[in-house]
Amino acid sequence: MTKESIKQNPQRIFSGIQPTGNLHLGNYLGAIKNWVSLQSDIPSIFSIVDLHAITVPQDPAKLRSSIHEVTAAIIASGVDVKNSILFNQSSVKEHTELAWIFNCVCRIGWLNRMTQFKEKAGKNREKATVGLYNYPVLMAADILLYKASHVPVGDDQKQHIELARDIASAFNNMFKNEKQEDFFSLPEPLILGTATRVMSLRDGTKKMSKSDDSDASRINLTDTRDQISNKIKKAKTDSNPLPETLDELKTRPEALNLINIYAALSSQKTSSILEQFSGKGFSYFKPQLIELAVDTLSPISSEMRNLLKDTKEIDKILKIGQEKAKNIAEPILKDVKNLVGFIN
């Protein structure tokens, strides 16, 4: 799916991000940057998914400040809150209501296949919350509550969107109106750009993640110029110059990651960046990557700091988003409840 094909058949975008602190370059390049570029072509709804955040224990005060921080980061990155809808998930109760109905559609076997649960729960599966296991059902509800047609995400969320499609099809088969029409159309994942999976700066085979113990593994959106510079200087590499071909680059995970990051930050193709730097060493490449990363991220982090001085204003923006989101969600949930056979 390309941006051009969406323009020809625009419908509605939904995407979400968890307010769990440490928003990083992966979140920016894999998700938020694409939200910003899509919002002018297709009506968009973006959510700070706080109900998802509590699938692992959260400190309430920290959760509250993360909701503000992530909202500020999204606005500072360029999401236009006048034209797009930005709200926190728990403020629209229809999400949990639809999630329950979907719990009664989704099969245990489908959830058992979800690789992210296996990764996140690790060896301690018996101690994981039911919410963590069940989370993809809530995610399906998030998307289908607005009958979203496209869901821009990073590569790691593809399987969850496939599950949302399975749930939508199963619902369509179970519940028909008099005309025997499908109630939901199937949402498409939109995995755009050259950095759909940004890797850790310490290990090119591991995803850059909010929860990595090493802060040096990621570039946070709140990092200062010096922090960004030091992290890139120290980023793991090998000692060879950058290769000639993409095939060779693909055998060198750390080099591939840094080149992909450069390509995504400059909105260019990986192959053109490789052409530009092939034969050059990292001592030549890294300073240029630092300059590009600082130039892109510093205005975002300074705008974020500015917005965070007035959290009441952020609350107002979320309230407006809540009302707009509810206006779309309420009638859709009402129709779902009618189809299921509830009296409301």
Decide which of ligand AMP, ligand TRP, none touches 142; Cβ closer than 5 to 8 Å per partner kind.
ligand TRP
The helix/strand/coil state of 10 is coil
Position 198 contacts ligand AMP (CB under 6 A): yes
What would the two tokens of residue 64 be?
Answer: 């509250």
Residues 62, 158, 210, 286: which is the catalytic one? 210
The full DSSP string for 168-225 is HHHHHHH---TT---SSPPPEEE--SS-SSPBPSS-TTSB--TT-S-GGGS-BTT--H
What would the two tokens of residue 3 be?
Answer: 């941006």
Instruction: Among 66, 77, 90, 157, indicate the residue that binds ligand TRP (CB under 6 A).
Output: 157
Position 52 contacts ligand TRP (CB under 6 A): yes
Distance (Å) of CA 323 to CA 177, 263, 320, 327: 28, 38, 5, 6
Position 31 contacts ligand AMP (CB under 6 A): yes
Decide which of ligand TRP, ligand AMP, none touches 14; Cβ closer than 5 to 8 Å per partner kind.
ligand TRP
Position 16 contacts ligand TRP (CB under 6 A): yes
Q: What is the DSSP letter of 243?
A: -
Q: What is the DSSP letter of 66?
A: H
Segment 153 to 182, residues that bind ligand AMP, using CB under 6 A: 153-154, 156-157
Q: What is the Cα–Cα distance from 6 to 115, expressed in whole angstroms?
A: 29
Q: What is the Cα–Cα distance from 12 to 149, expressed in whole angstroms?
A: 5
Instruction: Among 50, 69, 94, 142, indicate the residue that binds ligand TRP (CB under 6 A).
Output: 142
- Taking the least distance from each CB to ligand AMP, the nearer of 150 and 207 is 207
Stretch that binds ligand AMP, among 119-127, 193-201, 228-236, 282-290 (CB under 6 A): 193-201
CB 179, min distance to ligand AMP, A: 36
Residues labelled catalytic: 120, 207, 210
